[in-house]
Structure 1
Amino acid sequence: MSEAVQNNPAFTQRVFSGIQPSGGLTLGNYLGAIKRFVDWQARDIETIYCMVDMHAITVWQDPEALRKQTRELAAGYIAAGVDPAKSIMFNQSQVAEHAQLGWIFNCVARLGWMNRMTQFKDKAGKNAEKASLGLYAYPALMAADILLYHATHVPVGEDQKQHVELTRDIAAKFNHDYGVDFFPMTDPVIEGAGTRVMSLRDGSKKMSKSDPSDASRINMTDDADAIAKKIRKAKTDPEPLPETFEALKDRPEARNLVNIYAALAETSTDAVMAEMAGKQFGEFKPLLVDLAVDRLAPISTEMSRLMQDPAEIDRILAGGADRARAIAAPILQRTYEIVGMVGARV
């Protein structure tokens, strides 16, 4: 826990995290984020999980597709075990305070900080001049997402750690500039196997919903047959599994499959190696197929059932937004007062 949280009892321990509804859910989303959401929910700490649809539109989205993807993401959360009665679950655009605090943080963050954000460079590529201002500035909105709830912990993948570090910079500058101890120093939490799931066709690339090859990923909507087929065809090498995970450092495809197995089995990669050492992939893959189908097929089945009733999903999201606003509105109101806004009403 960060020093600011430890030293200030006003900061209730609270987790916030979110995923963009910008395409189908993959195994990477599940192992790197949603499964961890469920794990945190079981702890004695308040959990808030969001579908960050405002982040999704930093690149153009078809409106009908965005609506469907938002509901599908919510269905994925629920099917994987996020309980709307235990966790606050909502889509970002239903809580206007995210955008309002985002503007305050646009004025706190420095251009130099934004220019260091590697994800903008990766997503904008060579056409950075044609990228939206939102894509450039979205780390400030991400900071607002987190600090709007005085979140003390954010479970993230390694690729998002830089954004949580920026969140800490923004909180520290705001507190310093206004002479307050108002925003906490949020801690990024990166734990366990599966935090970065790689492509089934190229172990050097992250598993992505944007990859043109559907065989490169396991979608959370895939049925048992599709899951099994993709794992059987996953790229490997002819060597047997060694005794240690470290020995796989130059074998990215093998390393990826072992990492996936460990995450699904909820064990360590070292424990997997101790059990599987000496096996060829012809022996290992069937074991991974059985494990993956056992863990994932029920989730895809439940997602399909939930998507048959979009009105119920909308009801759950609206209820979650009301609960989120009950926390967010007073924090934004106090932020406005600190900044000096006259008669601000939120």
Structure 2
Amino acid sequence: MFSSRLTTTAQCCRRQSLRYLSTSGLVNEQKTLRRRVIFSGIQPTGILHLQLGNYLGAISNWVKLQNEAQHEDDIIFAIVGWHALTLPQNPKELSAARTNMLATLLAFGIDPKRSVVFHQDDNQCHTELAWILSCITPIGKLRRMTTWKSRLATARNANDESEIDESMLNAGLFTYPILQAADILAYRATHVPVGEDQTQHLELSRDLADSFNRTFSKRKQFFPVPSQLITPTKRVLSLKDPSSKMSKSAPDPASRIELTDTAAQISRKVRAAVTDSIDGITYDPVARPGASNLLSILAACTDEPVQEVAARYAEKGHSALKSDVVDALEEILRSPREEFGRLRQEKEYLAAVARQGAEKAKERSSKTMREVRNMVGLC
């Protein structure tokens, strides 16, 4: 799951394609420039506490990708329920979270007529390909993954990753990067929009694509080696502790803006945000983290460079800034919040969207798997 000013996504994609193609030679340039297959996924858990950073870091970028895509592009978004199982889940809560996440994506602008949106666990091609890829994945590569210990540390409420005993790790949490690679390669994706924290996992996907091609596809490059599309993420910090990231797991709910917060809750949280006693407003994340965080949030809402926003408040106080942040947040969240509330009641519609999305996903991935089975000797 990601520049102060958002570059046009389509242009960014193609520039990255050209940089990648100039060095790899693995993908035909004209074909890649003519048609991109973009894949990304999001876990369903914690939807009722999705906060502003999730929206600005992932969902809003997905919507931009969808809306700026060319007609030939294939845009695929998955709700990755199997990945959620790597940590303990309440079955009833997970089932509800799957539906709520689909409602959230639709409420914030994902259009099932323009993008393929589906539940990963409705398509068995993912797990089949994951098993085949696991049979060519060295354990050493998985041991070098830097995220599994941190995830386990979070689950165990440990303060130091060195405290974690590897014997506590379940196999799914250890091998889920292979499933992540299968999610991508099942659709022969050319681009994957992820944040920099997921770079290592995407590198594994690239390595496995190359390894499969060299082992089983000597006459052609069957799997494109996917390019990382680093989505422009606005860093949103805690309203109560602007030295740390805004997080849905923080014990104080006043530290974050949640996507389901009412206008009154947003106003209360922003007006109570930590700032300083210095006159005037300047953007200085080190010396003035609280004011800088509010400026960053406002700039993200208005899609402007933060320095331009800061210049407008040089002679103003924190009260004026907070008031404008409240208004900007309510402007971008009001309509999606109302739409989410409506969609959660439309269970038959959501089920139909999920079913149709899964059918489209299976149509694409089944073609891949027929060739994979043939190449590895399973048909």
Give the C-alpha shift of residue 269 in structure 1.
2.1
Mapped partners of 2:179, 2:201: distance in 1: 10
Residues 45 and 97, structure 2, Cα contact 8 Å, conserved in 1? yes
Q: Is 1:313 matched with 2:350?
A: yes
| Structure 1 SS opposite 2:149 | helix
Q: Which residue of 2 aligns with 1:144?
A: 182
| Structure 2 SS opposite 1:100 | helix
Alignment of 1:95-244 (within 5 A): 95-125=123-153, 126-178=164-216, 179=218, 180-194=220-234, 196-239=235-278, 240-242=280-282
TM-score using structure 2 length: 0.83
| Structure 2 SS opposite 1:248 | coil
| Structure 2 SS opposite 1:90 | strand
Q: Which residue of 2 aligns with 1:51?
A: 79
Assess, with a 3 A threshold, how the Cα gap between structure 1 residues 181 and 284 changes in structure 2: closer, same or farther.
Answer: same
- For residues 261-284 of structure 1, the C-alpha deviation after alignment (integer angstroms, 9 at most, x for no partner) is 222112222332333335432221
Assess, with a 3 A threshold, how the Cα gap between structure 1 residues 331 and 282 changes in structure 2: closer, same or farther.
Answer: same
Which letter does structure 1 place at the counterpart of 2:317? Q
Mapped partners of 1:109, 1:278: distance in 2: 58
Q: Which residue of 2 aligns with 1:289?
A: 326
Assess, with a 3 A threshold, how the Cα gap between structure 1 residues 112 and 47 changes in structure 2: closer, same or farther.
Answer: same
| Structure 2 SS opposite 1:108 | coil
Mapped partners of 1:100, 1:250: distance in 2: 52
Which letter does structure 2 place at the counterpart of 1:168? R
Q: Which residue of 1 aligns with 2:373?
A: 336
Assess, with a 3 A threshold, how the Cα gap between structure 1 residues 78 and 129 changes in structure 2: closer, same or farther.
Answer: same
Alignment counterpart, residue 56 of structure 2, candidates 31, 49, 52: 31
Q: Which residue of 2 aligns with 1:9?
A: 31
Give the C-alpha shift of residue 193 in structure 1.
4.7
- For residues 290-313 of structure 1, the C-alpha deviation after alignment (integer angstroms, 9 at most, x for no partner) is 000010122111101110122211
Alignment counterpart, residue 41 of structure 2, candidates 18, 22, 43: 18
Which letter does structure 1 place at the counterpart of 2:193? P
- In structure 2, runs of 5+ residues without a counterpart are 1-16, 154-163
What is the aligned length? 338
| Structure 2 SS opposite 1:204 | coil
Mapped partners of 1:65, 1:199: distance in 2: 27
Which letter does structure 2 place at the counterpart of 1:155? P
- For residues 139-196 of structure 1, the C-alpha deviation after alignment (integer angstroms, 9 at most, x for no partner) is 11111111111111122222222222221122122222233411112122224351x4
More deviation in 310-319 or 285-294? 310-319
Residues 193 and 259, structure 1, Cα contact 8 Å, conserved in 2? no
Mapped partners of 1:154, 1:198: distance in 2: 25
More deviation in 255-264 or 286-295? 255-264
- For residues 20-78 of structure 1, the C-alpha deviation after alignment (integer angstroms, 9 at most, x for no partner) is 01112221221111111110111212211111111001001111111111111111111
Which letter does structure 2 place at the counterpart of 1:304? G
Assess, with a 3 A threshold, how the Cα gap between structure 1 residues 256 and 113 changes in structure 2: closer, same or farther.
Answer: farther
Mapped partners of 2:180, 2:361: distance in 1: 16
Residues 193 and 263, structure 1, Cα contact 8 Å, conserved in 2? no
Assess, with a 3 A threshold, how the Cα gap between structure 1 residues 128 and 282 changes in structure 2: closer, same or farther.
Answer: farther
Assess, with a 3 A threshold, how the Cα gap between structure 1 residues 250 and 153 changes in structure 2: closer, same or farther.
Answer: farther
| Structure 2 SS opposite 1:189 | strand
- For residues 192-226 of structure 1, the C-alpha deviation after alignment (integer angstroms, 9 at most, x for no partner) is 351x4333223333332222222222221112111
Which letter does structure 2 place at the counterpart of 1:227? I
Mapped partners of 2:313, 2:186: distance in 1: 46
Which letter does structure 2 place at the counterpart of 1:107? C
TM-score using structure 1 length: 0.91
Mapped partners of 1:117, 1:52: distance in 2: 20
Assess, with a 3 A threshold, how the Cα gap between structure 1 residues 297 and 335 changes in structure 2: closer, same or farther.
Answer: same
Assess, with a 3 A threshold, how the Cα gap between structure 1 residues 262 and 64 changes in structure 2: closer, same or farther.
Answer: same
Mapped partners of 2:41, 2:259: distance in 1: 17
Q: Which residue of 2 aligns with 1:301?
A: 338
Mapped partners of 1:109, 1:117: distance in 2: 13
Assess, with a 3 A threshold, how the Cα gap between structure 1 residues 121 and 30 changes in structure 2: closer, same or farther.
Answer: same
More deviation in 68-77 or 249-258? 249-258
Q: Is 1:326 matched with 2:348?
A: no
Assess, with a 3 A threshold, how the Cα gap between structure 1 residues 62 and 277 changes in structure 2: closer, same or farther.
Answer: same
Q: Is 1:65 matched with 2:65?
A: no
Mapped partners of 1:115, 1:12: distance in 2: 35
Residues 123 and 362, structure 2, Cα contact 8 Å, conserved in 1? yes
Mapped partners of 2:74, 2:303: distance in 1: 23
